[in-house]
Structure 1
Amino acid sequence: MSSVGYEAINIDENSIPRDHMANAMIDRKLHDCVRQDNTAAFKRLVEQRLTEKLVTPCGNTLLHVAVSYGSDNITSYLAGTFPSLITIQNSQKDTILHLAAREGKATHAIKSLVESNPSLMRKTNTKGNTPLHDAVIADNKEVAELLVSRDPEVAFYNNKNDTSPLYLAVENGNKKEILDDLLKTEASFPIRSEDGDALPKGRSPVHAAIERRNRDILEKIEKEKPELLRLTEEGLGNSLHYASSIGFLEGVRFLLKKFHDGAYETNVKGNYPIHVACKSDSVDVVKEFLDIFPYPKEFLNKKGQNILHVAANYGNASVVRYILKHDQKLVAPLLNAIDEDGNTPLHLAARYGQGTATFLLVRDNRVDHFIVNNRIWTPYEYLAEDFSKRSEMPAKERKPIDSKNSTPAHEIKGKEVNSNKMDTKEASPKDEIRIEYFEFVLHLKVMTLSILFFNALPKKSRKKLFPWTGPPVSRAKEETRSEVENLLVVAVLVAGVTFAGVIQLPQLRDNNNSSDRRHELNTTYENLLNSYLALDVLALSFSLAAALLLLLPSITNGFQISAVEFAGNMVSMAIYMMFGAFLYSVRIALIGSHRSLLAIIISGAVLVFPLIILLSFSQGFLKVQLSPFYYGLFLVYFYSRWWLPNKLSDLKKKHNL
């Protein structure tokens, strides 16, 4: 093949128009000649045609087709005879180099075109890809090596997805060693670019290697282009931030050796890499940082928060536990430190309902439970205040929806509503998910509040624990008269039912069992009957005491309001115990039968029922009644699902098992 020289062509912005009606389509014979690289036959077919007007449906010229098939002879002929074809782009704005990168080879003709028209290498298509982008995506090592050797800086140029050829090579895992070719160029990294299309504004190839957890590629990058380790990405921070965020321990170790200064840089949120490690619950990474930087109190983010603040804020109990067990001299300044809002780590753990982290902190004797923040709130008061506010949110956020109308209630109030024009659209699944998430968070906050109730409750007077929020006493006395009558009726009814339950005890059915079986059933019957009697008698006692208490205000009116409220609580407890007695009577009736499903239902009812009485109890009494329930649930979870596995893990490490 003879060498062909080409006149350098200035690349213009003109491309083949989308409407190709004015152009002639390349027929089958021409296409076959190009594919077979048959120059003689090709020349005869194009002699009497306007070659520049011959295109495929997607706007590829004959030169595009020749390059994509690697037809070197026809490529040389067309480029020499019709140089205007070199600058034409198809409907996707692909140049001939884009097609050579995706489908062709680095033929002699392509090399000559690159030498004579270097601006082709920076031309982008509709995706913002240069030919080098496409060569890396297609794993076309031959063309990629040619392009990067002629214009090394293109390896750092970003497409519309903010990815450079170098990033793509890392993402592809250095297939066919294309990454090696891109890294071994002598071009220095373009920190600034006049066009604004070069890194560091785009996606960092170092971050791509970290995402793949590939230390080998990190070592390659550090060896050839160490300056790339300093790149940052908006939202991800520098390479140490990103490695810490995904818990890539080997990457963190490598970067702390080769990019030590990165540990002193903050991301857009003002966090150091060690803060990010605490946020992502990466205990091993936190340990690595503390081994190298044994002065954690010096790392404060823009909110003035130390690493314990961050771990507690996000409820990362494993990190909190590790920090608390660390060297006391290093940890002591962190425990009760306050941020710019005056919050300690315990404040943040409490505020966001992080139960396990809260429990770990309150059980540490070094942690002060009663420090007040800038709002003069202790951790318990901080959560209690937030809880009371958020408890009112569903009415506003859920926008009460009628079963057949999605229009918020507050928008139709006071307006005439045409039932024929009512919106029948149902609430979206996204709204339902949001409500479920809100309820889940609310339960977590109640559990955290119960932990603080037992361990960090400020010393308040009884009046503050049971605040009176009702109307003035004079008017309240009149309003309680009807309440007294209603409560008396309910109390007497409960007393009558429970009294009847004592007289007529539930009996064990005789199923003609053997003597041994009958003895076993009798033992079970006695145990259940004792529990039944205990609850029934307690319910009878509570209801009678409430009835007697309600009769006293008719003689002495001095404490009528308080008596009614207390009696209401006693009646509610009596109903609750009566319900429990009923459950035991059902169990007695089912002794010896298959009752697995029913037992599950009954157990669920026992767990759910305390939530039902939320509506009938006063706020102060609820704090006392439901806190043990939620605290007990938490302790079961903590010691069985969290503490025990962690303790076993520590023992294994200690004994090298």
Structure 2
Amino acid sequence: MSSVGYEAINIDENSIPRDHMANAMIDSQLHECVRQNINTEEFRRLVQQRSAEKLVTPCGNTLLHVAVSCGSDNITSYLAPTFPSLITIQNSQKDTILHLAAREGKASDTIKSLAESNPSLMRKTNTKGNTPLHDAVITDNKEVAKLLVSRDPEVAYYNNNNGKSPLYLAVEKGKKNGILDDLLNLGASFAIKSEDGDALPEGKSPVHAAIKQRNRDILEKIGKEKPELLRLTEEEFGNSLHYASSIGFLEGVRFLLTKFHDGAYETNLEGNYPIHVACKSHSVDVVKEFLDIFPYPKEFLNKKGKNILHVAAKYGNSSVVRYILEQDQKLVAPLLNAIDEDGNTPLHLAAGYGRCTATFLLVRDNRVEHFIVNNRNWTPYELAEDFSKRVEETYIKTDEMPAKERKPIDSKNSTPAHEIKGKEVDSNKMDTKEASTKDEIVVWYFDLVMTLSILFVNARPKKSLKEIFPATGLPMSKLRKEATTRIGNLLVVAVLVAVVTFAGVIQPPQLRDNNNSSDREFNSTTYTASHYSTYENLLYGYLFLDVGALSSSLLAALLLLLPSVTHPRFQIATVWFSVIMVRLAIYMMFGAMLFSARIALIGSHRSLLTISITGLAVVFPSIIPLSVSPVHLKVLLHYIYYYLFFLFIYSSWWLPHKLSDLKKKHNL
């Protein structure tokens, strides 16, 4: 068989270069011999003549690499003992022969022999940091993986450049190929804590991989075969309980609390216990699981002195806040008004971070104190007010920033972080060093305004309105400039109102002509004497209001055109009077519109339409009084935002939770 194969390939000796080189490329004929596993005397002679150690492929593979990759056992069994130096040579990617066997070959007798006689090969890593076992797991090569882990079990815990061990990769792939079972059953045990207290091995925890997949079956298998792995930590995520709590994996938390109970008393790099991390997530069930086992939440304080209600309020997890507030009074009382190291209560944190729903839940609870001051002597309202001003100033600065300064920020879709941060930062938005985008600032500011309005309505400071909304005086130069601008704007509005009302005087509204033959089939209204009487009365009202609006707007325009307006002594008074006249003209326009609409509906039986138009014309302009101070306007806006919160935010959050409670109550 070998001779036939050799004659078919017909190696030409003359085609072999004989010049002395550091390395020579394996030609296609030699490669074909290796690939077809043809081990003849002629092949051996040519290999020895060519110096096998210097024969390589473009990516640095030796003949032994090619033989192992192709599964050519006859060639492999010849080359390995004849040229032992080939066994340890690595190609350009630093792959050994075992790497190629793991990716492409099989666990032949020759490979087994090589693994046993050269144990160091199993710990060699390539440029990716992968050992042969890594590659066997990645390619689902169960046969080679079982061979390697049986010869050197500790390799299952070696981490590659991404911090992933073969065991971690096997957990990612799951139990379907059986490699995970082999690694757990044959894997070596190791001490989780070394003498200096560091966790071993470092890198990504296989338990975290199982938690990420929410796979309790794998968690239980790890807990049964290698329970010490449950104690592994990751720098970014903490221990396994921290990570399961952060993603709201309830089944995983339940299992870990039975097998790794002590993990609940460990803190992560941020100084948070797993119960704190659970309060960051939106899973109330995970928080409930912790409180069922640890019914003393006041004992869990992170490194900043925050309890679980602090954390839930800070991150705006309204469902968790609601659940905590509904618990037994003895359990909740120590949490409600507790202060952290900055003197902040849970209400301070909810208010300061613009968590409107959490703020509403806390401020509506009679047990929560509204006027506790923190270390900066600020109440929750004052903290929210200060932070909303900071965000507003940041938005204005970003909007007014010169193009050259804004370009590098816009290229990253961010604004300078120090401009939007308060004295404390939020892990969702502010704990990161990257700043928020301009659009995010707008949305965030809206939440802050909602929160401020909730506090204004329910926890208003014990001060007068003038103290809450102090008037900010402007320099005389700015006042004059502003007055000049307002004169121009008022003049434009006054002239526009005059033009519209003048057109209304020239062509007042008329009754529809029912005698027009072209409209008879569409209009069957018949006007009576009472209809004409009503029309006359409405027309008088319309003309009175329309002419009044015309007169008021013309008076305002004439006043603004007087030469004395430019004199500082008369400027402010003239602007103030003109504003009143223009407002009066606009109100009269609304009234004229009402009378015009009523004239158009005479004889109509559409009472609902009549009522709607009348209500719109009467109610809408009466929302804002004729003369309103800036203080009253701010109070009005707070109430508007408060009711918008009820309409769009609280209702959409409250209804699903109420339905869920009813289902639980009736066991549906």
* 1:440 equivalent among 422, 435, 443: 443
Partner of 1:153: 154
Partner of 1:123: 124
2:192–2:228 CA contact under 8 A, matched in 1: no
Q: Is 2:24 the partner of 1:27?
A: no
Q: What is the CA distance between 1:584 and its match in structure 2?
A: 7.8
Where does 1:601-612 land on structure 2 (aligned, <5 Å)?
Answer: none
Q: Is 2:470 the partner of 1:470?
A: no
2:483–2:571 CA contact under 8 A, matched in 1: no
The letter of the residue matching 1:627 is: H
Partner of 1:323: 324
Q: Deviations over 1:51-89 (max 9, x none)?
A: 111111111001111111222221111111111111110
Separation in 2, partners of 1:96, 1:586: 94
Q: How many residue pairs get matched?
A: 577
* 3-state SS in 2 of match to 1:174: coil
Separation in 2, partners of 1:300, 1:25: 67
Q: What is the CA distance between 1:217 and its match in structure 2?
A: 0.4
Q: Out of 64-73 and 211-220, give the one that drifted further.
A: 64-73
Where does 1:236-385 land on structure 2 (aligned, <5 Å)?
Answer: 236-385=237-386
1:506–1:588 CA contact under 8 A, matched in 2: no
1:271–1:590 distance in 2 versus 1, CA, 3 Å = farther
TM-score (norm 1): 0.77
1:335–1:367 CA contact under 8 A, matched in 2: yes
The letter of the residue matching 1:458 is: P
Q: Deviations over 1:197-229 (max 9, x none)?
A: 994320000000000110010011001110100
Q: Deviations over 1:220-258 (max 9, x none)?
A: 100111010011101101101111111111001100111
The letter of the residue matching 1:128 is: G
1:105–1:567 distance in 2 versus 1, CA, 3 Å = farther
Q: Is 2:610 the partner of 1:625?
A: no
1:362–1:455 CA contact under 8 A, matched in 2: yes
* 2:455 equivalent among 443, 452, 456: 452
Separation in 1, partners of 2:641, 2:414: 28
1:255–1:509 distance in 2 versus 1, CA, 3 Å = farther
Partner of 1:142: 143
Separation in 1, partners of 2:56, 2:79: 14
Partner of 1:4: none
* 3-state SS in 1 of match to 2:404: coil
Separation in 2, partners of 1:306, 1:284: 18
* 1:645 equivalent among 645, 651, 656: 656
Q: What is the CA distance between 1:566 and its match in structure 2?
A: 8.2
1:379–1:221 distance in 2 versus 1, CA, 3 Å = same
Q: What is the CA distance between 1:372 and its match in structure 2?
A: 1.2
Q: Deviations over 1:279-299 (max 9, x none)?
A: 111111111111111111111
Q: Out of 459-468 and 301-310, give the one that drifted further.
A: 459-468
Calculate the aligned-residue CA RMSD, in Å.
4.4
Separation in 2, partners of 1:37, 1:181: 31
1:484–1:274 distance in 2 versus 1, CA, 3 Å = closer
1:564–1:283 distance in 2 versus 1, CA, 3 Å = farther
1:497–1:376 distance in 2 versus 1, CA, 3 Å = farther
Q: Is 2:413 the partner of 1:430?
A: yes
Partner of 1:408: 405
Q: Out of 135-144 and 464-473, give the one that drifted further.
A: 464-473
Q: Deviations over 1:4-63 (max 9, x none)?
A: xxxxxxxxxxxxxxxx97322212222222222221253243242211111111110011
* 3-state SS in 1 of match to 2:91: coil
1:487–1:568 CA contact under 8 A, matched in 2: no
The letter of the residue matching 1:465 is: I
1:470–1:476 CA contact under 8 A, matched in 2: no
Q: Is 2:36 the partner of 1:36?
A: yes
Separation in 1, partners of 2:51, 2:388: 79
The letter of the residue matching 1:179 is: L
TM-score (norm 2): 0.75
Separation in 1, partners of 2:33, 2:335: 78
Q: Which runs of 5+ in 1 are unaligned?
A: 1-19, 410-422, 555-559, 593-608
Separation in 1, partners of 2:213, 2:293: 25
Q: Deviations over 1:506-564 (max 9, x none)?
A: 66877767568999xx9xxx9xx99x99xx89x979x89x99xx99xx9xxxxx99989
Q: What is the CA distance between 1:147 and its match in structure 2?
A: 0.9
Q: Deviations over 1:290-311 (max 9, x none)?
A: 1111111111111111111111
The letter of the residue matching 2:326 is: K
Separation in 1, partners of 2:208, 2:286: 17
Q: What is the CA distance between 1:440 and its match in structure 2?
A: 1.4
1:95–1:120 CA contact under 8 A, matched in 2: yes
Separation in 2, partners of 1:329, 1:562: 61
Separation in 1, partners of 2:380, 2:582: 31
* 1:461 equivalent among 430, 440, 464: 464
Q: Which runs of 5+ in 2 are unaligned?
A: 1-19, 416-435, 514-518, 565-569, 605-620
1:314–1:354 CA contact under 8 A, matched in 2: yes
* 3-state SS in 2 of match to 1:39: coil
1:64–1:626 distance in 2 versus 1, CA, 3 Å = same
1:47–1:373 distance in 2 versus 1, CA, 3 Å = closer
2:493–2:582 CA contact under 8 A, matched in 1: no
Separation in 2, partners of 1:190, 1:51: 44
1:174–1:180 CA contact under 8 A, matched in 2: yes
Separation in 2, partners of 1:458, 1:469: 19
The letter of the residue matching 1:180 is: D
Separation in 2, partners of 1:204, 1:582: 75
1:173–1:397 distance in 2 versus 1, CA, 3 Å = same
Partner of 1:7: none
Q: Out of 107-116 and 431-440, give the one that drifted further.
A: 431-440
Q: What is the CA distance between 1:621 and its match in structure 2?
A: 3.9
Q: Out of 576-585 and 330-339, give the one that drifted further.
A: 576-585
Q: Out of 503-512 and 172-181, give the one that drifted further.
A: 503-512
1:156–1:198 CA contact under 8 A, matched in 2: no
1:441–1:228 distance in 2 versus 1, CA, 3 Å = same
Partner of 1:225: 226
1:589–1:466 distance in 2 versus 1, CA, 3 Å = farther
1:121–1:570 distance in 2 versus 1, CA, 3 Å = farther
Separation in 2, partners of 1:379, 1:80: 80
Separation in 2, partners of 1:449, 1:572: 33
1:274–1:384 distance in 2 versus 1, CA, 3 Å = same
The letter of the residue matching 2:366 is: N
Partner of 2:667: 656
Separation in 2, partners of 1:131, 1:185: 17
Query: Which of structures 1 and 2 has the bigger CA Rg?
Result: 2
* 3-state SS in 2 of match to 1:391: helix
1:395–1:499 distance in 2 versus 1, CA, 3 Å = closer
1:565–1:87 distance in 2 versus 1, CA, 3 Å = farther
2:490–2:582 CA contact under 8 A, matched in 1: no
Identity %: 65
Q: What is the CA distance between 1:379 and its match in structure 2?
A: 1.0
1:568–1:639 distance in 2 versus 1, CA, 3 Å = farther
Separation in 2, partners of 1:451, 1:502: 45
Q: Deviations over 1:374-397 (max 9, x none)?
A: 111111111111212222223434
Partner of 1:55: 56
Q: Deviations over 1:582-608 (max 9, x none)?
A: 99899999999xxxxxxxxxxxxxxxx
1:507–1:407 distance in 2 versus 1, CA, 3 Å = farther
The letter of the residue matching 2:129 is: G
The letter of the residue matching 1:27 is: D
